Structure 1
């Protein structure tokens, strides 16, 4: 009887083992291996798909199963949180990209080659001025200061030729240029005008005042022709001074201005070319054009340009001419210095104020030009400002 009882209990135990093993070894029940994220965070121990257990492993199944199931849940939660963080970062980057302005690229002119005789304003100081928005230059008998305006990129420039050429050691050329409609226009004028003027004057068959004046005029027209042939957009104003044989020849287009100190008194050697001038307005209207005055009181040619003479401006060339006005001034005792500047200065500083400011600084450095730039900017000038001061007394010694 005892034997039958033992056999029955053994068979019952084997049946229970088979039933439990069948349940735990179902082909649909498996748990994925733990991801690296869960292992890194220490949420679960190393997990493998569940296989059929033998009798010795049977008692460990409930504990391992619970750990693997909860570990798998933690893995899913970690992945989901990380994906949400990635999506949030992408959205922030896309939103910032929409609000961020595009990078502003400003071209910088190449510096002059070694030994070059011509001092082209934006050749000498181009890199400094474009990078720092202002420049100061001290040369032989001249000083320059410039500052970029607040509304656009720098469109002012200058040019100087002071080297000896042949037997005429008194030959010197100075110019200040104010471009509009882009940087290319003023770059071309500052590079070509001085060379053309000096070449034309030296090539003149006569040394009379009329011959020099005619050569300067021809050089201005030739520079404008080069400008138009190259198809450069925009235009440029100019005020230049040529010293030759004890005389000062001043020429201008537009609203750049030349003012001389004569015994401390300001003497304007140029007259601004604007549509507000009666003679300029009459010339334009007689040639079939028109001028208009806007609500801000500025007169414009064809409702467009505020100056009536300039280099370039191909679309307005019928009315905006490149024929300069030229004035000869004998250099006599009392001719102290010359101020050449763009309209960024003259719109805020009078002729006499400019002369007085330079006289106070004793013309010993570029500080005299910088003081004028600061004065105009302090009075609200938002335009580009370029000021050049030329020592005229050095030509009288």
Structure 2
């Protein structure tokens, strides 16, 4: 009997010990679930305390009988539906925060405990702020040189741009895109014997360099004025020897001489002079190109030939697009320096102004368009009218040098 009692006592003690161990294991499992929820869930701003920076808060009161609640503040729980609050990686089927309700009485003094958020949550927050990858522009060989070349070309273009306002005339000139500036101009005004005003105006368009343009611009005006004063032709100005003078390239020209109320206009090549009479445009020159039948016949009769290229431009000996010019010594057998001259009385003809320009303008702007652009300013002519014509030609695609001169003819009517 005593033996049975002892066995019963031992069995009861073992049962109580097993129950205690089972309860402790259950509590540990629930605590592990809570810790896993704290590590895997993101913080809920609405439940975070400013003082703790989003840390979990566990509260205890001095009440002698109440249930202890541990709620992770990072998850909003409504009606205990936790099926979509946290990822499956947290280890629990429902996910989200876990509320543990203990039936045991809890006796703790009043206190507040802060549990710092783990470092993994900080890394997750940083990863959430996604930034696009850095834009890396690869270095291109020669890019700096190309930018420097563009800047130098722009600076050179600004330096070679020219606007001139003179006594009764205005000039605007811009360099083209294909080469260095090869246009030029010349103006001479003076009085003869103190009673008659005379003026010379010229626009020059070079090709193959500036040598011929500079030579013609420096001598032609003086020779024409000298010839007009002495009433004789200047052989020095029109002879091939004077035009060549060891220079390379060539130059076209359109000139105007006003003397004793008459306007004399002469030209070589494709520079042109256009007069405005009561607003109507009239060309005072005819372009010297191989497209003219008389010029083509003259060249062919001299043993040369003309041809039309794929771009529709006629050329002498497959080379030059004009049939008359200063210089061009290698083609002087066919390309002569003999100008065509016309005379126009200014009195009683309604003459208003004269437009002299290089072919950079006339290839893109018609005679009447040029006259209309200048006449738009009324009687107040200015360099703006010249610039307007230059800009018009460039907007229409002119790649050549453009030089425009406007001459007020009404100032000579009362001389």
- What TM-score does the superposition give when structure 1 sets the normalisation length? 0.64
1:169 Cα offset (Å): 3.0
Give me the CA root mean square deviation.
2.4
Cα-to-partner distance string for 1:115-173 (whole Å, 9 max, x where unaligned): xxxxxxxxxxxxx9865231110000000000000111000000000122433532110
Q: Distance in 2 between matches of 1:148 and 1:176?
A: 14
Per the alignment, residue 376 of structure 2 pairs with 360
CA contact (8 A) 2:316 2:323 kept: yes
Give the one of 275, 280, 287 matched to 1:260: 275
| Structure with the higher fraction of residues in helix conformation | 1
Query: What SS class does the counterpart of residue 300 from structure 2 fall into?
Result: helix
Per the alignment, residue 179 of structure 1 pairs with 206
Per the alignment, residue 303 of structure 2 pairs with 288
Q: Distance in 2 between matches of 1:98 and 1:132?
A: 22
Per the alignment, residue 335 of structure 1 pairs with 351
CA contact (8 A) 1:220 1:322 kept: no
1:295-306 equivalent positions in 2, closer than 5 A: 295-306=310-321
Q: Distance in 2 between matches of 1:100 and 1:386?
A: 29
1:89-104 equivalent positions in 2, closer than 5 A: none
CA contact (8 A) 2:190 2:197 kept: no
Query: What SS class does the counterpart of residue 164 from structure 1 fall into?
Result: strand
1:335 Cα offset (Å): 0.4
In structure 2, the CA distance between the partners of 1:129 and 1:356, relative to structure 1 (3 Å rule), is farther
Asked if 1:395 corresponds to 2:412, the answer is: yes
Gaps of 5+ in 1: 1-91, 107-127, 205-210
CA contact (8 A) 2:236 2:242 kept: no
Query: What SS class does the counterpart of residue 296 from structure 2 fall into?
Result: helix
Per the alignment, residue 123 of structure 2 pairs with none
CA contact (8 A) 2:237 2:243 kept: no
Count of residue correspondences: 270
Q: Distance in 2 between matches of 1:268 and 1:98?
A: 48
Cα-to-partner distance string for 1:194-226 (whole Å, 9 max, x where unaligned): 01100111122xxxxxx5xxx26x35414x422
Per the alignment, residue 278 of structure 1 pairs with 293
Q: Which runs of 4+ in 1 moved over 4 A?
A: 95-104, 128-131
1:1-397 equivalent positions in 2, closer than 5 A: 132-167=159-194, 169-204=196-231, 215=233, 218=235, 220-222=237-239, 224-229=240-245, 231-333=246-348, 334-362=350-378, 363-397=380-414
Query: What SS class does the counterpart of residue 192 from structure 1 fall into?
Result: helix
Cα-to-partner distance string for 1:317-368 (whole Å, 9 max, x where unaligned): 0000000000000112310000000000000000000001100023431001
Larger radius of gyration: 2
In structure 2, the CA distance between the partners of 1:330 and 1:129, relative to structure 1 (3 Å rule), is farther
1:185 Cα offset (Å): 1.2
Q: Distance in 1 between matches of 2:195 and 2:396?
A: 43
Q: Distance in 1 between matches of 2:288 and 2:282?
A: 17
Gaps of 5+ in 2: 1-138
Q: Distance in 2 between matches of 1:346 and 1:389?
A: 14
